[in-house]
């Protein structure tokens, strides 16, 4: 299986993961370790001055996993740029998962604000990974302004509905000259496998791993699915046809018995 | 001096941002600070003095997707 290059960084795993929704930091680490993911997302919030928060940074860094802060909570380009600058200080990385969703019900990404923020962040030297709708036009625009990859959604965040946007994802994959990472809605390893078979460069999975009864085992299941899907894609899948095409030679060797 | 910390009035006895973090008992790892809507680079925390009514926001990294 080939490795994946984003902004000069080589990834051996094509499974990117989120750190949200796990029951504990230990469950998260077990799951991420089993998944062999090399890139995980984190969020920012105003510090809780009264309560102690579990330190999840240390185990992630010890494991050598690359951190990808997101701009979740931003509703406008201006807020997202501010969040990215805070994240750069907090996590000492100029990589950012740009996500702007003004509507808390469906968490639909705002494409216009995302494009504006991407342009500004790229000028400021960030590696921008934009989370967007499966919109082929927008993905091209983001590529043109210098995004190092695009992250179109399969279906709404946390919905487990899989690749509801499949026809549009296929167009994006076909057109894109930067890596395409399918993010959001991937609910089962089969969804991840399908994304890879379609030619996606990577997938980002969070909820499906975090809320599983056995998060570590699910992490492994996703790892295997992503590897299987990518290997199948690189091996070259056969074309689909309506008619049967025999795999055994159809000779008339039993003809004499009738 | 009285500052405003994460939108709440706060009585601060030190001078710099680093003093503030020490006073709060917070590690410097995984956090970012903004004063009056401007991000302050980590390298300047020890030299950045707070003033009466400074609007300080401290952010921390947490789990997220």
CATH label of the domain that carries residue A74: 3.20.20.70
pLDDT digits over A95-117, tens only? 999 999 988 889 999 999 999 99
Give how far B58 is from chain A: nearest CA, Å: 6
In this complex, do A21 and B39 lie within 8 Å of one another by their Cβ atoms?
no
In a domain, A169, yes or no: yes
Residues of B with CB under 8 A from a CB of A: 5-8, 24, 26-27, 29-34, 37, 39-42, 57-65
Give residue A80's pLDDT.
97
Q: Is-contact A101 A110, C-beta < 8 A?
A: yes
Within-domain flag for A226: yes
Please give the residue of chain A at the shortest CA–CA distance from B64.
Answer: A20
A207 marked among binding-site residues: yes
* ipTM for this prediction: 0.90
Give A55's pLDDT tier (boundaries 50, 70, 90): confident
> Which residues constitute the domain of residue B16?
2-60
A70 assigned to a ligand binding site = no
Q: What is the DSSP letter of A195?
A: H
Number of structural domains (chain B) is 1
Question: Residue B38's domain is classified under what CATH number?
Answer: 3.10.20.30
Question: What does the alpha-carbon distance between residue A45 and residue B22 come to, in Å, rounded to a whole number?
Answer: 20
Task: Let me know if residue B65 belongs to a domain.
Answer: no
Q: What percent of chain A has pLDDT over 90?
A: 82
d(CA A44, CA A74): 10
Has residue A250 got a pLDDT over 90? no
Q: From the candidates A21, A66, A78, A97, which is the catalytic residue?
A: A97
Interchain contact, A206 vs B65, CB within 8 Å: yes
Burial tier of A96 (Cβ tally within 10 Å: 0-12, 13-18, 19+): buried
To the query of whether residue A66 is one of the catalytic residues in this protein, the response is no
- Structural domain count of chain A: 1
Domain that holds residue A213: 15-46+54-235
Residue A211 lies in a domain: yes
Contact across the interface for A89 and B62, Cβ inside 8 Å: no
Residue A54 has pLDDT above 80, yes or no: no
For residue A15, give the nearest of A172, A236, A235, A220 by alpha carbon.
A220
């Amino acid at each position: 299986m080939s490795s994946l290059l984003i902004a000069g960084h080589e990834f051996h795993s094509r499974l990117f993961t989120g750190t949200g929704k796990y029951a504990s930091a230990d469950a998260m680490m077990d799951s991420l370790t089993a998944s062999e993911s090399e890139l995980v997302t984190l969020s920012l919030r105003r510090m809780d001055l009264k309560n102690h928060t579990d330190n999840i940074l240390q185990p992630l860094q010890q494991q050598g996993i690359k951190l990808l802060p997101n701009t979740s909570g931003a509703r406008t380009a201006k807020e997202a740029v501010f969040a990215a600058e805070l994240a750069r200080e907090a996590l000492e990385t100029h990589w950012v998962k740009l996500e702007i969703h003004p509507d808390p019900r469906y968490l639909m990404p705002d494409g216009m604000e995302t494009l504006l923020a991407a342009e500004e962040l790229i000028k400021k030297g960030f590696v921008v990974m934009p989370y967007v709708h499966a919109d082929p036009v927008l993905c091209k625009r983001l590529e043109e302004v210098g995004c190092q990859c695009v992250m179109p959604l399969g279906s709404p965040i946390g919905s487990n509905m899989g690749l509801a946007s499949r026809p549009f994802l296929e167009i994006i994959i076909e057109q894109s000259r930067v890596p395409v990472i399918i993010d959001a809605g991937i609910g089962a390893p089969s969804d991840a496998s399908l994304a890879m078979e379609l030619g996606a460069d990577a997938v980002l999975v969070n909820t499906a791993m975090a809320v599983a009864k056995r998060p570590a085992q699910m992490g492994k299941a996703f790892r295997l699915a992503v590897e299987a899907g990518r290997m199948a894609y690189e091996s070259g899948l056969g074309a689909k046809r309506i008619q049967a095409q025999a795999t055994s030679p159809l000779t008339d060797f039993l003809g004499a018995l009738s | 001096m009285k500052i405003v910390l994460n939108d709440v009035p706060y009585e601060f006895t030190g001078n710099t941002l680093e003093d503030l973090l020490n006073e709060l008992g917070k590690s410097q790892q995984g956090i970012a600070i903004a004063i009056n809507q401007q991000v302050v680079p980590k390298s300047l925390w020890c030299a950045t003095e707070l003033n009466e009514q400074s609007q300080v926001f401290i952010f921390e990294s947490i789990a997220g997707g």
